Amino acid sequence: MLALDPFAARLFLPFAALIGLYVAWSDLRGMRIPNGSVVMLALVFVVLGPFVLPIDVYGARLLHLVVMLLLGMAMTAMRIMGAGDAKFIAAAAPFIALGDLHLMFMLLAASMLAAFATHRGAKHSPLRRLAPTWESWDRGREFPMGTALSTALTLYLMLAAFS
């Protein structure tokens, strides 16, 4: 049993999944996660959270956003990750129950491996001709992490919604 309430997950899921699709596409196309999509994801939690979570849980989860934003800013300053990735992680953090953190890390690891393998495989195959102008093809060692981050969040919410 996951710590996130299934009803809350069902409410968050469609919004997070749609925003996640846009984030993945934008990161693949231009190696950017737009600020607007990150703000929208955070607003989904801020607006809907009070209706589906106890107020103390809601407040604690908002604190997750602040903590992850500060950590992300530090990691961006140290050039460990991109600013868009850090902002997306911060906006996604309130959706994750602390009791499910181990599951989220496993989902993120699996999503990272799958996204990396799929991206690199498509890059060196005829599939690349479907989107020849995507910047992510030509960035050398850089990788569009928005694909893995949004996939992991969507999978987590799906598991919570239907468990």
- pLDDT tens, 122-138? 999 998 898 989 999 88
pLDDT digits (tens, 9 = 90+) for 19-62: 999 999 999 999 999 999 999 999 999 999 999 999 999 999 99
pLDDT digits (tens, 9 = 90+) for 61-108: 999 999 999 999 999 999 999 999 999 999 999 999 999 999 999 999
Give long-range contacts, CB 8 A cutoff, 24+ apart: 86-90.
87/33, 87/35, 87/38, 88/23, 88/33, 88/37, 88/38, 88/41, 88/146, 88/149, 88/150, 89/149, 90/38, 90/42, 90/65, 90/66
Could you tell me the two tokens for 158?
């799906």
- Could you state, in order of their start, the residue ranges of all structural domains in the chain? 6-161
Residue 1 above 80 pLDDT? no
pTM: 0.95
Distances (CA, A) of 95 to 112, 140, 142: 19, 32, 27
